[in-house]
């Protein structure tokens, strides 16, 4: 199973990706987690990405595409994966298409989680208190939501027109949302 999980920041992509990963026995590949790991360990990649991440902007495509390509080539990703946080713009969609064409694989579904901006802002405010991420400042949060609306939300139409989209309401209990996603994927 090869899945994308898409939706605005704060909608619960990471939590639902973990549930899907367990259910289908496939790894979750989160570009945000890869960047955070590199920031924490002050790697070359982390240093290159830091200023963009702190401002809530997208890291340049060239850098981001390269880390995804490397990660997808690893052994544990051969049988399937869930991509969380990638692709985030049209050029990343093209890059992923070409990586998959080269590998001779195809995307199965794109899970889109949805919630209102007020719900998202409240969840992110809470997360900022609990986790203290450097990019959870009010300015960076607003920039991320705006970037999502402008660059990422239109990709749902792209995948919808390819017949790959499964849309699920992201408001509710974690378990009920997971059940809904899994049921939708298994009957799609």
Which residues are designated catalytic? 13, 88, 127, 133, 144
Nearer to ligand AMP, 33 or 186 (CB): 33
We find the least distance from the C-beta atom of residue 183 to ligand AMP, in angstroms, to be 26
Report helix angle 13-24 to 174-187, nearest 10.
50
Within 67-126, the residues that bind ligand AMP by CB under 6 A are: 85-86, 88, 92
Nearer to ligand AMP, 71 or 88 (CB): 88
Nearer to ligand AMP, 98 or 176 (CB): 98
Using CB atoms within 10 Å of the CB of residue 61, give its burial: 0 to 12 exposed, 13 to 18 middle, 19+ buried.
middle
DSSP state of 75: G
Q: Is 10 in the site for ligand AMP (CB under 6 A)?
A: no
- Judged by CB under 6 A, the stretch of 27-35, 111-119, 161-169, 177-185 that binds ligand AMP is 27-35
Using CB atoms within 10 Å of the CB of residue 108, give its burial: 0 to 12 exposed, 13 to 18 middle, 19+ buried.
middle
Query: Rounded to the nearest 5°, which phi and psi values hold at 2?
Result: -120, 115
Using CB atoms within 10 Å of the CB of residue 31, give its burial: 0 to 12 exposed, 13 to 18 middle, 19+ buried.
buried
| Site residues, ligand AMP (CB under 6 A) | 9, 31-32, 35, 52-53, 56-59, 64, 85-86, 88, 92, 135, 144
């Amino acid at each position: 199973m090869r899945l994308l999980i898409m939706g605005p920041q704060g909608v619960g992509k990471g939590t639902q990706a973990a549930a899907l990963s367990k259910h289908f026995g496939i790894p979750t590949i989160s570009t945000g987690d890869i960047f955070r790991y590199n920031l924490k360990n002050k790697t070359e990649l982390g240093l290159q990405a830091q200023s963009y991440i702190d401002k809530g902007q997208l890291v340049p495509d060239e850098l981001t595409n390269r880390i995804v390509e490397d990660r997808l080539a690893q052994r544990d990703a051969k049988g399937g994966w869930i991509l969380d946080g990638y692709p985030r713009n049209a050029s990343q969609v093209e890059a992923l298409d070409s990586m998959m064409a080269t590998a001779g694989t195809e995307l199965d579904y794109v899970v889109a989680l949805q919630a209102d901006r007020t719900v998202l802002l409240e969840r992110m405010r809470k997360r900022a208190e609990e986790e203290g991420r450097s990019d959870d400042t009010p300015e960076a949060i607003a920039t991320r939501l705006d970037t999502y609306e402008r660059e990422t939300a239109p990709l749902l139409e792209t995948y919808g027109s390819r017949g790959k989209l499964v849309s699920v309401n992201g408001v509710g209990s974690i378990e009920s949302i997971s059940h809904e996603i899994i049921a939708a994927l298994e009957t799609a």
